[in-house]
Structure 1
Amino acid sequence: MNMNAKIIDQDNKGIGVRVHDNDETEHTVAVGFDGEIQGHSQDGYPDDPAKRTGKENEYVSQARRYAKYYVAKEKGYDVLPWDRDTAAMQRVQTAIESLSDEDFEKYFGTYFDQINSRLPNVTAPVPEPDAVGDDEFVLYLLDVYLDEAGRIEAVSDIHFLYLDDNRERQVVLGDQPLNRDPDARLQLKPNYLPSLEVAQEFFVYHLRCQIRDCYLLRGEEPPEQYRVIGPGLYDAATRYLYEDRPYRPYHKLHADIPGYSLEFDYGFGEQGKEMAKIAGAVADNK
Protein backbone atom coordinates (compact mmCIF):
# COMPACT_ATOMS: atom_id res chain seq x y z
CA MET A 1 0.00 0.00 0.00
CA ASN A 2 1.42 3.34 -1.03
CA MET A 3 -1.05 6.19 -0.63
CA ASN A 4 0.43 9.68 -0.82
CA ALA A 5 -0.97 13.19 -1.00
CA LYS A 6 -0.11 16.85 -1.39
CA ILE A 7 -2.09 19.99 -0.61
CA ILE A 8 -2.40 22.00 -3.81
CA ASP A 9 -4.88 24.77 -3.00
CA GLN A 10 -6.84 26.48 -0.24
CA ASP A 11 -9.61 29.07 -0.34
CA ASN A 12 -12.37 30.25 1.98
CA LYS A 13 -14.40 27.09 1.35
CA GLY A 14 -11.85 24.36 1.83
CA ILE A 15 -8.64 22.69 0.76
CA GLY A 16 -7.63 20.96 -2.46
CA VAL A 17 -5.64 17.75 -2.14
CA ARG A 18 -3.92 15.69 -4.81
CA VAL A 19 -3.93 12.01 -3.89
CA HIS A 20 -2.26 9.04 -5.57
CA ASP A 21 -4.01 5.78 -4.73
CA ASN A 22 -2.71 2.23 -4.51
CA ASP A 23 -3.47 1.70 -8.20
CA GLU A 24 -1.26 4.74 -9.02
CA THR A 25 -4.27 6.77 -10.15
CA GLU A 26 -4.21 10.50 -9.44
CA HIS A 27 -7.18 12.14 -7.71
CA THR A 28 -7.93 15.79 -7.01
CA VAL A 29 -10.19 16.08 -3.98
CA ALA A 30 -11.69 19.28 -2.55
CA VAL A 31 -12.31 18.91 1.19
CA GLY A 32 -14.58 21.49 2.82
CA PHE A 33 -13.80 22.84 6.27
CA ASP A 34 -16.86 20.93 7.49
CA GLY A 35 -15.39 17.66 6.22
CA GLU A 36 -17.71 17.39 3.23
CA ILE A 37 -16.24 16.47 -0.15
CA GLN A 38 -16.90 19.46 -2.41
CA GLY A 39 -15.42 17.99 -5.56
CA HIS A 40 -13.50 14.97 -6.77
CA SER A 41 -11.92 14.25 -10.12
CA GLN A 42 -9.63 11.41 -11.18
CA ASP A 43 -8.12 10.11 -14.38
CA GLY A 44 -8.10 6.35 -13.93
CA TYR A 45 -11.67 5.07 -13.62
CA PRO A 46 -15.09 5.70 -15.18
CA ASP A 47 -16.88 8.73 -13.73
CA ASP A 48 -20.08 6.72 -13.35
CA PRO A 49 -19.75 4.53 -10.21
CA ALA A 50 -22.02 1.93 -11.83
CA LYS A 51 -19.42 1.41 -14.56
CA ARG A 52 -16.54 0.87 -12.14
CA THR A 53 -15.52 -2.45 -10.64
CA GLY A 54 -15.92 -2.93 -6.91
CA LYS A 55 -12.19 -2.46 -6.46
CA GLU A 56 -12.21 0.77 -8.49
CA ASN A 57 -15.09 2.18 -6.45
CA GLU A 58 -13.20 1.38 -3.28
CA TYR A 59 -10.05 3.10 -4.57
CA VAL A 60 -12.15 6.22 -5.19
CA SER A 61 -13.56 6.04 -1.66
CA GLN A 62 -10.11 5.47 -0.19
CA ALA A 63 -8.82 8.58 -1.96
CA ARG A 64 -11.57 10.66 -0.34
CA ARG A 65 -10.91 9.23 3.10
CA TYR A 66 -7.18 9.73 2.71
CA ALA A 67 -7.68 13.34 1.59
CA LYS A 68 -9.67 14.10 4.76
CA TYR A 69 -7.06 12.39 6.91
CA TYR A 70 -4.26 14.33 5.21
CA VAL A 71 -5.99 17.68 5.71
CA ALA A 72 -6.53 16.87 9.39
CA LYS A 73 -2.91 15.78 9.82
CA GLU A 74 -1.24 18.59 7.89
CA LYS A 75 -3.55 21.49 8.68
CA GLY A 76 -5.19 20.51 11.94
CA TYR A 77 -8.73 21.11 10.70
CA ASP A 78 -11.54 19.07 12.25
CA VAL A 79 -12.65 17.34 9.05
CA LEU A 80 -12.63 13.69 10.12
CA PRO A 81 -15.87 11.94 11.09
CA TRP A 82 -15.79 11.30 14.84
CA ASP A 83 -15.84 7.54 14.28
CA ARG A 84 -12.71 7.68 12.10
CA ASP A 85 -10.61 9.69 14.55
CA THR A 86 -7.82 7.33 15.57
CA ALA A 87 -6.36 9.79 18.08
CA ALA A 88 -9.67 9.85 19.95
CA MET A 89 -9.86 6.05 19.83
CA GLN A 90 -6.38 5.86 21.34
CA ARG A 91 -7.42 8.20 24.15
CA VAL A 92 -10.44 6.02 24.89
CA GLN A 93 -8.20 2.94 24.91
CA THR A 94 -5.99 4.57 27.51
CA ALA A 95 -8.99 5.70 29.57
CA ILE A 96 -10.50 2.19 29.65
CA GLU A 97 -7.15 0.58 30.47
CA SER A 98 -6.64 2.91 33.43
CA LEU A 99 -10.01 2.24 35.08
CA SER A 100 -10.11 0.50 38.43
CA ASP A 101 -12.16 -2.69 38.64
CA GLU A 102 -14.91 -0.75 40.41
CA ASP A 103 -15.04 2.05 37.86
CA PHE A 104 -14.92 -0.36 34.92
CA GLU A 105 -17.97 -2.16 36.28
CA LYS A 106 -19.67 1.19 36.89
CA TYR A 107 -19.31 2.31 33.28
CA PHE A 108 -19.23 -0.99 31.38
CA GLY A 109 -20.89 -3.59 33.60
CA THR A 110 -24.25 -3.33 31.84
CA TYR A 111 -22.59 -3.58 28.43
CA PHE A 112 -20.65 -6.65 29.62
CA ASP A 113 -23.91 -8.30 30.67
CA GLN A 114 -25.52 -7.39 27.34
CA ILE A 115 -22.72 -9.02 25.36
CA ASN A 116 -23.15 -12.23 27.38
CA SER A 117 -26.94 -12.08 27.22
CA ARG A 118 -27.43 -14.84 24.64
CA LEU A 119 -25.79 -17.36 26.93
CA PRO A 120 -28.03 -19.76 28.87
CA ASN A 121 -29.39 -18.37 32.14
CA VAL A 122 -28.28 -14.81 31.33
CA THR A 123 -30.92 -12.08 31.11
CA ALA A 124 -30.27 -9.13 28.81
CA PRO A 125 -30.20 -5.83 30.73
CA VAL A 126 -31.81 -4.20 27.68
CA PRO A 127 -34.19 -6.26 25.51
CA GLU A 128 -33.22 -6.54 21.87
CA PRO A 129 -35.57 -4.92 19.33
CA ASP A 130 -38.58 -7.07 18.49
CA ALA A 131 -37.40 -7.30 14.88
CA VAL A 132 -34.28 -9.22 15.95
CA GLY A 133 -35.01 -12.93 16.14
CA ASP A 134 -33.22 -15.51 18.24
CA ASP A 135 -29.66 -16.03 16.98
CA GLU A 136 -30.06 -13.34 14.31
CA PHE A 137 -27.31 -10.79 13.69
CA VAL A 138 -27.19 -7.83 16.05
CA LEU A 139 -24.52 -5.45 17.28
CA TYR A 140 -24.59 -3.84 20.69
CA LEU A 141 -23.28 -0.27 20.51
CA LEU A 142 -21.99 1.83 23.39
CA ASP A 143 -20.81 5.44 23.08
CA VAL A 144 -17.92 6.55 25.28
CA TYR A 145 -17.34 10.20 26.21
CA LEU A 146 -14.12 11.60 27.68
CA ASP A 147 -13.63 14.76 29.69
CA GLU A 148 -10.92 17.32 28.97
CA ALA A 149 -8.45 15.38 31.10
CA GLY A 150 -8.94 12.23 29.02
CA ARG A 151 -10.93 10.39 31.67
CA ILE A 152 -14.27 8.74 31.03
CA GLU A 153 -17.02 11.24 31.67
CA ALA A 154 -20.03 9.20 30.60
CA VAL A 155 -21.27 6.32 28.48
CA SER A 156 -24.52 6.08 26.58
CA ASP A 157 -27.30 3.61 27.00
CA ILE A 158 -26.98 0.57 24.74
CA HIS A 159 -27.87 1.04 21.08
CA PHE A 160 -28.68 -1.77 18.64
CA LEU A 161 -27.69 -2.29 15.02
CA TYR A 162 -29.42 -5.04 13.05
CA LEU A 163 -30.51 -5.93 9.53
CA ASP A 164 -34.18 -5.88 8.56
CA ASP A 165 -35.94 -8.34 6.25
CA ASN A 166 -34.48 -6.50 3.24
CA ARG A 167 -30.96 -6.72 4.69
CA GLU A 168 -31.02 -2.98 5.27
CA ARG A 169 -29.20 -1.61 8.28
CA GLN A 170 -31.36 -0.40 11.16
CA VAL A 171 -30.13 1.39 14.28
CA VAL A 172 -32.13 1.80 17.48
CA LEU A 173 -30.54 4.43 19.70
CA GLY A 174 -30.70 4.46 23.47
CA ASP A 175 -30.19 7.55 25.59
CA GLN A 176 -27.14 9.67 24.75
CA PRO A 177 -26.20 11.61 27.89
CA LEU A 178 -24.20 14.46 26.35
CA ASN A 179 -25.10 16.81 23.54
CA ARG A 180 -21.99 16.12 21.48
CA ASP A 181 -20.36 13.37 19.48
CA PRO A 182 -18.79 10.58 21.51
CA ASP A 183 -15.06 9.99 21.45
CA ALA A 184 -15.53 6.36 20.40
CA ARG A 185 -18.26 3.78 19.98
CA LEU A 186 -17.90 0.13 20.97
CA GLN A 187 -19.72 -2.08 18.47
CA LEU A 188 -19.70 -5.73 19.40
CA LYS A 189 -21.94 -8.71 18.74
CA PRO A 190 -23.11 -11.24 21.33
CA ASN A 191 -20.15 -13.14 22.70
CA TYR A 192 -18.80 -15.01 25.69
CA LEU A 193 -16.65 -12.87 27.96
CA PRO A 194 -15.77 -14.88 31.08
CA SER A 195 -15.13 -11.95 33.42
CA LEU A 196 -15.12 -8.18 33.72
CA GLU A 197 -11.33 -8.30 33.72
CA VAL A 198 -11.32 -10.05 30.35
CA ALA A 199 -13.97 -7.64 29.07
CA GLN A 200 -11.78 -4.67 29.95
CA GLU A 201 -8.93 -6.15 27.92
CA PHE A 202 -11.29 -7.06 25.07
CA PHE A 203 -12.78 -3.58 24.76
CA VAL A 204 -9.27 -2.13 24.50
CA TYR A 205 -8.42 -4.75 21.86
CA HIS A 206 -11.64 -3.97 19.99
CA LEU A 207 -10.58 -0.31 19.73
CA ARG A 208 -7.20 -1.48 18.49
CA CYS A 209 -9.04 -3.29 15.70
CA GLN A 210 -11.07 -0.15 14.96
CA ILE A 211 -7.85 1.83 14.57
CA ARG A 212 -6.60 -0.89 12.19
CA ASP A 213 -9.74 -0.42 10.12
CA CYS A 214 -9.29 3.35 9.89
CA TYR A 215 -5.89 2.83 8.28
CA LEU A 216 -7.12 0.15 5.90
CA LEU A 217 -10.19 2.11 4.79
CA ARG A 218 -8.00 5.01 3.71
CA GLY A 219 -5.72 2.67 1.78
CA GLU A 220 -2.86 2.42 4.26
CA GLU A 221 -1.16 -0.55 5.87
CA PRO A 222 -1.54 -0.10 9.63
CA PRO A 223 1.52 0.24 11.85
CA GLU A 224 2.70 -3.11 13.16
CA GLN A 225 0.93 -2.79 16.53
CA TYR A 226 -2.42 -2.59 14.71
CA ARG A 227 -1.89 -5.54 12.38
CA VAL A 228 -4.27 -7.67 14.37
CA ILE A 229 -7.25 -9.89 13.66
CA GLY A 230 -10.60 -9.29 15.30
CA PRO A 231 -13.80 -7.23 15.36
CA GLY A 232 -13.41 -3.54 14.65
CA LEU A 233 -15.65 -1.14 12.72
CA TYR A 234 -18.86 -2.63 11.34
CA ASP A 235 -18.62 -0.44 8.23
CA ALA A 236 -15.20 -1.91 7.54
CA ALA A 237 -16.36 -5.49 8.05
CA THR A 238 -19.11 -5.04 5.46
CA ARG A 239 -16.45 -4.03 2.93
CA TYR A 240 -14.07 -6.85 3.84
CA LEU A 241 -16.72 -9.41 2.89
CA TYR A 242 -16.67 -8.56 -0.82
CA GLU A 243 -14.15 -10.49 -2.89
CA ASP A 244 -13.90 -7.67 -5.45
CA ARG A 245 -12.63 -5.16 -2.88
CA PRO A 246 -8.93 -4.62 -2.05
CA TYR A 247 -9.23 -6.11 1.44
CA ARG A 248 -8.93 -9.32 3.42
CA PRO A 249 -11.32 -10.52 6.18
CA TYR A 250 -9.42 -8.81 9.00
CA HIS A 251 -12.46 -8.98 11.30
CA LYS A 252 -12.70 -12.77 11.28
CA LEU A 253 -11.00 -14.46 14.22
CA HIS A 254 -9.92 -17.43 12.08
CA ALA A 255 -8.61 -15.37 9.15
CA ASP A 256 -5.19 -16.32 7.80
CA ILE A 257 -3.63 -13.04 6.66
CA PRO A 258 0.15 -12.71 6.29
CA GLY A 259 1.56 -10.22 8.78
CA TYR A 260 -1.61 -10.15 10.91
CA SER A 261 -2.40 -12.20 14.01
CA LEU A 262 -5.03 -12.74 16.67
CA GLU A 263 -3.58 -11.31 19.86
CA PHE A 264 -6.53 -11.66 22.22
CA ASP A 265 -6.96 -14.91 24.13
CA TYR A 266 -10.20 -14.41 26.12
CA GLY A 267 -8.25 -15.05 29.32
CA PHE A 268 -7.30 -18.61 28.34
CA GLY A 269 -3.84 -18.13 26.80
CA GLU A 270 -2.98 -19.78 23.50
CA GLN A 271 -5.82 -22.25 24.00
CA GLY A 272 -8.21 -19.31 24.08
CA LYS A 273 -6.97 -18.08 20.72
CA GLU A 274 -7.43 -21.51 19.16
CA MET A 275 -10.92 -21.82 20.64
CA ALA A 276 -11.83 -18.39 19.25
CA LYS A 277 -10.58 -19.34 15.79
CA ILE A 278 -12.61 -22.56 15.82
CA ALA A 279 -15.73 -20.74 17.00
CA GLY A 280 -15.27 -18.16 14.26
CA ALA A 281 -14.95 -20.83 11.59
CA VAL A 282 -18.05 -22.66 12.87
CA ALA A 283 -20.07 -19.42 12.87
CA ASP A 284 -19.01 -18.77 9.27
CA ASN A 285 -20.33 -22.14 8.17
CA LYS A 286 -23.80 -21.69 9.67
Structure 2
Amino acid sequence: MKAKIIGTEDDIIGVQVIDPRGNVHLVEIDVENEDTEDLHAQESYPLDSSERTDEQERIMNQVAARARFEAHTQTEYEILRDGWVPRQLRRGIDALENMPVKEFDEAFREYYHALINPAKAKEEYGITEGEVEFSGEPQIVLIMKGFCINEQNEVVNVLPDLYLYYSNEHVNETYTTGHAASCSTDTTQITPMIPPFKEPPADFVYPEDFRGFLIHNIICQIRDVYRNMGEKAPEQYDIDGYGKPKGNFDRDEYLP
Protein backbone atom coordinates (compact mmCIF):
# COMPACT_ATOMS: atom_id res chain seq x y z
CA MET A 1 0.00 0.00 0.00
CA LYS A 2 1.00 3.61 -0.50
CA ALA A 3 0.37 6.14 2.26
CA LYS A 4 1.16 9.79 2.89
CA ILE A 5 0.30 12.47 5.42
CA ILE A 6 -1.89 15.09 3.76
CA GLY A 7 -2.29 17.43 6.70
CA THR A 8 -2.55 18.00 10.44
CA GLU A 9 -5.04 20.39 12.02
CA ASP A 10 -6.59 20.66 15.49
CA ASP A 11 -4.90 17.42 16.63
CA ILE A 12 -6.33 15.54 13.64
CA ILE A 13 -3.90 13.81 11.26
CA GLY A 14 -5.13 13.19 7.74
CA VAL A 15 -3.62 10.22 5.90
CA GLN A 16 -4.24 9.20 2.31
CA VAL A 17 -3.84 5.49 1.58
CA ILE A 18 -4.03 3.75 -1.79
CA ASP A 19 -4.99 0.11 -1.36
CA PRO A 20 -3.71 -2.83 -3.49
CA ARG A 21 -6.65 -2.39 -5.88
CA GLY A 22 -5.72 1.23 -6.54
CA ASN A 23 -8.60 2.65 -4.51
CA VAL A 24 -8.05 5.86 -2.55
CA HIS A 25 -8.90 6.12 1.16
CA LEU A 26 -8.77 9.10 3.51
CA VAL A 27 -8.27 8.32 7.19
CA GLU A 28 -8.43 10.99 9.90
CA ILE A 29 -6.87 10.15 13.27
CA ASP A 30 -7.64 12.09 16.46
CA VAL A 31 -4.35 12.05 18.36
CA GLU A 32 -5.76 13.64 21.52
CA ASN A 33 -8.61 11.22 22.16
CA GLU A 34 -7.73 7.53 21.89
CA ASP A 35 -11.40 6.58 22.29
CA THR A 36 -12.43 8.45 19.14
CA GLU A 37 -12.86 6.10 16.20
CA ASP A 38 -10.82 7.05 13.15
CA LEU A 39 -12.80 8.57 10.28
CA HIS A 40 -12.35 6.35 7.23
CA ALA A 41 -13.69 7.80 3.98
CA GLN A 42 -13.68 5.94 0.67
CA GLU A 43 -15.98 5.40 -2.31
CA SER A 44 -15.04 1.88 -3.44
CA TYR A 45 -16.62 -0.46 -0.91
CA PRO A 46 -19.98 -0.56 0.91
CA LEU A 47 -20.11 1.85 3.85
CA ASP A 48 -21.80 -0.74 6.06
CA SER A 49 -19.26 -3.40 7.06
CA SER A 50 -22.01 -6.04 7.11
CA GLU A 51 -22.44 -5.55 3.35
CA ARG A 52 -18.76 -6.04 2.50
CA THR A 53 -17.16 -9.28 1.44
CA ASP A 54 -14.54 -10.78 3.75
CA GLU A 55 -11.80 -9.55 1.41
CA GLN A 56 -13.23 -6.02 1.28
CA GLU A 57 -13.45 -5.93 5.07
CA ARG A 58 -9.88 -7.13 5.38
CA ILE A 59 -8.66 -4.42 3.00
CA MET A 60 -10.55 -1.75 4.93
CA ASN A 61 -8.95 -2.88 8.19
CA GLN A 62 -5.51 -3.09 6.59
CA VAL A 63 -5.88 0.43 5.23
CA ALA A 64 -6.81 1.70 8.70
CA ALA A 65 -3.74 -0.02 10.18
CA ARG A 66 -1.50 1.37 7.43
CA ALA A 67 -2.80 4.89 8.05
CA ARG A 68 -2.06 4.68 11.77
CA PHE A 69 1.41 3.31 11.05
CA GLU A 70 2.10 6.22 8.70
CA ALA A 71 0.92 8.73 11.29
CA HIS A 72 3.07 7.12 13.98
CA THR A 73 6.25 6.98 11.93
CA GLN A 74 5.94 10.27 10.04
CA THR A 75 4.80 12.63 12.82
CA GLU A 76 5.85 13.31 16.39
CA TYR A 77 2.75 11.62 17.79
CA GLU A 78 2.82 8.24 19.52
CA ILE A 79 -0.11 6.48 17.85
CA LEU A 80 0.78 2.81 18.18
CA ARG A 81 1.72 0.59 21.08
CA ASP A 82 5.31 -0.60 21.14
CA GLY A 83 4.35 -4.14 20.12
CA TRP A 84 3.05 -2.86 16.76
CA VAL A 85 6.16 -0.87 15.82
CA PRO A 86 8.84 -2.92 14.01
CA ARG A 87 11.66 -0.66 15.20
CA GLN A 88 10.71 -1.22 18.83
CA LEU A 89 10.37 -4.98 18.37
CA ARG A 90 13.81 -5.01 16.73
CA ARG A 91 15.19 -3.29 19.83
CA GLY A 92 13.67 -6.08 21.90
CA ILE A 93 15.57 -8.63 19.85
CA ASP A 94 18.82 -6.75 20.44
CA ALA A 95 18.10 -6.64 24.18
CA LEU A 96 17.51 -10.39 24.38
CA GLU A 97 20.62 -11.14 22.34
CA ASN A 98 22.78 -9.10 24.72
CA MET A 99 21.24 -10.35 27.96
CA PRO A 100 23.73 -12.33 30.11
CA VAL A 101 22.87 -16.02 30.31
CA LYS A 102 22.35 -16.03 34.08
CA GLU A 103 20.02 -13.03 33.94
CA PHE A 104 18.08 -14.56 31.07
CA ASP A 105 17.68 -17.83 32.96
CA GLU A 106 16.39 -16.10 36.09
CA ALA A 107 14.01 -13.92 34.09
CA PHE A 108 12.46 -16.51 31.77
CA ARG A 109 12.76 -19.88 33.53
CA GLU A 110 9.14 -19.78 34.71
CA TYR A 111 7.98 -18.93 31.19
CA TYR A 112 9.92 -21.85 29.73
CA HIS A 113 8.50 -24.34 32.21
CA ALA A 114 4.94 -23.09 31.61
CA LEU A 115 5.37 -23.64 27.87
CA ILE A 116 6.79 -27.16 28.19
CA ASN A 117 4.39 -28.17 30.98
CA PRO A 118 1.07 -26.41 30.36
CA ALA A 119 -0.77 -28.93 32.56
CA LYS A 120 1.09 -27.63 35.60
CA ALA A 121 0.50 -24.03 34.51
CA LYS A 122 -3.23 -24.75 34.31
CA GLU A 123 -3.24 -25.93 37.91
CA GLU A 124 -1.20 -22.98 39.14
CA TYR A 125 -3.49 -20.46 37.43
CA GLY A 126 -6.78 -22.21 38.18
CA ILE A 127 -7.55 -23.11 34.58
CA THR A 128 -9.35 -26.34 35.43
CA GLU A 129 -12.64 -27.94 34.48
CA GLY A 130 -15.42 -26.57 36.64
CA GLU A 131 -13.47 -23.40 37.43
CA VAL A 132 -13.61 -21.77 33.99
CA GLU A 133 -16.35 -20.03 32.00
CA PHE A 134 -17.29 -23.05 29.86
CA SER A 135 -17.88 -26.77 30.19
CA GLY A 136 -15.27 -29.32 29.28
CA GLU A 137 -11.53 -29.50 29.76
CA PRO A 138 -9.81 -26.13 29.13
CA GLN A 139 -6.58 -25.93 27.16
CA ILE A 140 -3.97 -23.20 27.25
CA VAL A 141 -3.58 -21.79 23.75
CA LEU A 142 -1.12 -18.93 24.32
CA ILE A 143 1.21 -17.67 27.04
CA MET A 144 2.65 -14.16 27.15
CA LYS A 145 5.56 -12.76 29.16
CA GLY A 146 6.52 -9.11 28.88
CA PHE A 147 9.84 -7.41 29.53
CA CYS A 148 10.96 -3.79 29.60
CA ILE A 149 13.97 -2.25 27.87
CA ASN A 150 15.65 1.13 28.28
CA GLU A 151 16.98 3.48 25.61
CA GLN A 152 20.25 1.52 25.51
CA ASN A 153 18.32 -1.64 24.53
CA GLU A 154 18.99 -3.29 27.89
CA VAL A 155 16.44 -5.42 29.72
CA VAL A 156 15.81 -3.48 32.92
CA ASN A 157 12.71 -5.29 34.14
CA VAL A 158 10.81 -8.48 33.45
CA LEU A 159 7.12 -8.36 34.27
CA PRO A 160 6.50 -10.77 37.13
CA ASP A 161 3.45 -12.70 35.97
CA LEU A 162 2.48 -14.72 32.95
CA TYR A 163 -0.64 -13.87 30.97
CA LEU A 164 -2.47 -16.92 29.65
CA TYR A 165 -5.15 -17.46 27.01
CA TYR A 166 -7.29 -20.58 27.23
CA SER A 167 -10.21 -22.21 25.43
CA ASN A 168 -11.19 -25.62 24.05
CA GLU A 169 -12.45 -27.08 20.79
CA HIS A 170 -16.11 -26.66 21.77
CA VAL A 171 -16.13 -22.88 22.33
CA ASN A 172 -15.49 -20.04 19.91
CA GLU A 173 -14.17 -17.58 22.47
CA THR A 174 -10.78 -17.31 24.12
CA TYR A 175 -10.50 -16.36 27.79
CA THR A 176 -7.61 -14.94 29.77
CA THR A 177 -6.12 -15.08 33.21
CA GLY A 178 -3.03 -13.70 34.88
CA HIS A 179 -1.91 -10.16 35.57
CA ALA A 180 -1.63 -7.92 32.49
CA ALA A 181 1.13 -5.72 33.90
CA SER A 182 2.86 -3.04 31.86
CA CYS A 183 6.23 -1.32 31.80
CA SER A 184 6.89 2.17 33.12
CA THR A 185 6.47 5.04 30.68
CA ASP A 186 10.22 5.63 30.39
CA THR A 187 10.81 2.11 29.06
CA THR A 188 9.60 0.08 26.09
CA GLN A 189 7.56 -3.08 26.56
CA ILE A 190 8.22 -6.14 24.42
CA THR A 191 5.98 -9.19 24.86
CA PRO A 192 6.78 -12.65 23.49
CA MET A 193 3.53 -14.54 22.85
CA ILE A 194 3.88 -18.26 22.29
CA PRO A 195 1.60 -21.33 22.26
CA PRO A 196 2.60 -24.20 24.57
CA PHE A 197 5.23 -26.50 23.10
CA LYS A 198 3.76 -29.62 21.55
CA GLU A 199 7.06 -31.37 22.15
CA PRO A 200 10.46 -29.67 22.46
CA PRO A 201 13.09 -31.07 20.07
CA ALA A 202 15.26 -33.75 21.63
CA ASP A 203 18.35 -31.58 21.25
CA PHE A 204 16.71 -28.44 22.69
CA VAL A 205 19.11 -26.82 25.16
CA TYR A 206 17.86 -24.40 27.79
CA PRO A 207 18.47 -21.49 28.16
CA GLU A 208 20.23 -20.65 24.89
CA ASP A 209 17.80 -22.40 22.55
CA PHE A 210 14.91 -20.82 24.42
CA ARG A 211 16.49 -17.39 23.93
CA GLY A 212 16.55 -18.14 20.21
CA PHE A 213 12.94 -19.29 20.38
CA LEU A 214 11.81 -15.97 21.92
CA ILE A 215 13.77 -14.02 19.32
CA HIS A 216 12.16 -16.08 16.56
CA ASN A 217 8.71 -15.21 17.91
CA ILE A 218 9.52 -11.49 17.95
CA ILE A 219 10.80 -11.69 14.36
CA CYS A 220 7.48 -13.28 13.40
CA GLN A 221 5.65 -10.50 15.23
CA ILE A 222 7.49 -7.96 13.07
CA ARG A 223 6.38 -9.93 10.01
CA ASP A 224 2.78 -9.80 11.22
CA VAL A 225 2.89 -6.04 11.81
CA TYR A 226 3.46 -5.66 8.07
CA ARG A 227 0.89 -8.30 7.15
CA ASN A 228 -1.64 -6.56 9.39
CA MET A 229 -1.47 -3.52 7.11
CA GLY A 230 -1.49 -5.48 3.87
CA GLU A 231 2.23 -5.39 3.14
CA LYS A 232 4.96 -7.96 2.75
CA ALA A 233 7.59 -7.86 5.47
CA PRO A 234 11.25 -7.17 4.64
CA GLU A 235 13.05 -10.37 3.67
CA GLN A 236 14.86 -10.80 6.99
CA TYR A 237 11.52 -10.90 8.83
CA ASP A 238 9.49 -12.87 6.28
CA ILE A 239 9.90 -16.26 7.93
CA ASP A 240 7.65 -19.10 9.05
CA GLY A 241 6.51 -19.36 12.63
CA TYR A 242 4.07 -18.06 15.22
CA GLY A 243 3.92 -14.28 15.61
CA LYS A 244 0.84 -12.28 16.53
CA PRO A 245 -2.20 -14.29 17.66
CA LYS A 246 -4.58 -12.19 15.55
CA GLY A 247 -4.68 -9.44 12.97
CA ASN A 248 -5.87 -8.56 9.47
CA PHE A 249 -4.25 -11.64 7.93
CA ASP A 250 -4.46 -15.41 7.70
CA ARG A 251 -2.74 -16.52 10.90
CA ASP A 252 -2.24 -20.09 9.67
CA GLU A 253 -0.38 -19.09 6.50
CA TYR A 254 3.06 -19.12 8.11
CA LEU A 255 2.58 -21.90 10.65
CA PRO A 256 4.54 -25.12 10.08
TM-score in terms of structure 1 length: 0.76
Deviates more, 1:215-224 or 1:146-155: 146-155
For residue 126 of structure 1, report the CA deviation from its aligned partner: 4.1
Task: Tell me which residue corresponds to 2:63.
Answer: 63
- Over the matched positions of the two proteins, sequence identity in percent amounts to 23
* Equivalences for residues 117-196 of structure 1 within 5 A: 117-118=117-118, 123-124=120-121, 126-127=124-125, 129-130=127-128, 131=132, 136-156=139-159, 157-163=161-167, 166-174=171-179, 176=181, 178-180=183-185, 183-191=189-197, 192-193=199-200, 194=204, 195-196=206-207
**Change in CA separation of 1:207 and 1:128 when aligned onto 2, cut-off 3 Å:** farther
CA contact (8 A) 1:114 1:126 kept: no
In 1, Cα distance between equivalents of 2:173 and 2:81: 22
The question of 1:203 aligning with 2:203 is answered: no
**Change in CA separation of 1:86 and 1:37 when aligned onto 2, cut-off 3 Å:** farther
Letter in 2 for 1:80: L
Cα-to-partner distance string for 1:17-45 (whole Å, 9 max, x where unaligned): 11001121111000121465431111110
Equivalent residue in structure 2 for 1:14, among 12, 15, 33? 12
CA contact (8 A) 1:155 1:177 kept: no
CA contact (8 A) 2:138 2:166 kept: no
| Unaligned residue ranges in structure 1 (runs of 5+) | 242-247, 254-286
The number of equivalent residue pairs is 240
In 1, Cα distance between equivalents of 2:184 and 2:70: 28
Cα-to-partner distance string for 1:74-99 (whole Å, 9 max, x where unaligned): 11320113321211111111111111
The question of 1:94 aligning with 2:100 is answered: no
* Equivalences for residues 201-240 of structure 1 within 5 A: 201-236=212-247, 239-240=249-250
In 1, Cα distance between equivalents of 2:192 and 2:46: 37
Query: CA RMSD, aligned part only?
Result: 2.4
| Unaligned residue ranges in structure 2 (runs of 5+) | none
Deviates more, 1:208-217 or 1:194-203: 194-203
CA contact (8 A) 1:154 1:177 kept: no
**Aligned with 1:139: secondary structure?**
strand
CA contact (8 A) 2:118 2:140 kept: no
In 1, Cα distance between equivalents of 2:157 and 2:47: 44
Task: Tell me which residue corresponds to 2:81.
Answer: 81
CA contact (8 A) 2:88 2:188 kept: no
**Change in CA separation of 1:88 and 1:63 when aligned onto 2, cut-off 3 Å:** same
In 2, Cα distance between equivalents of 1:215 and 1:178: 24
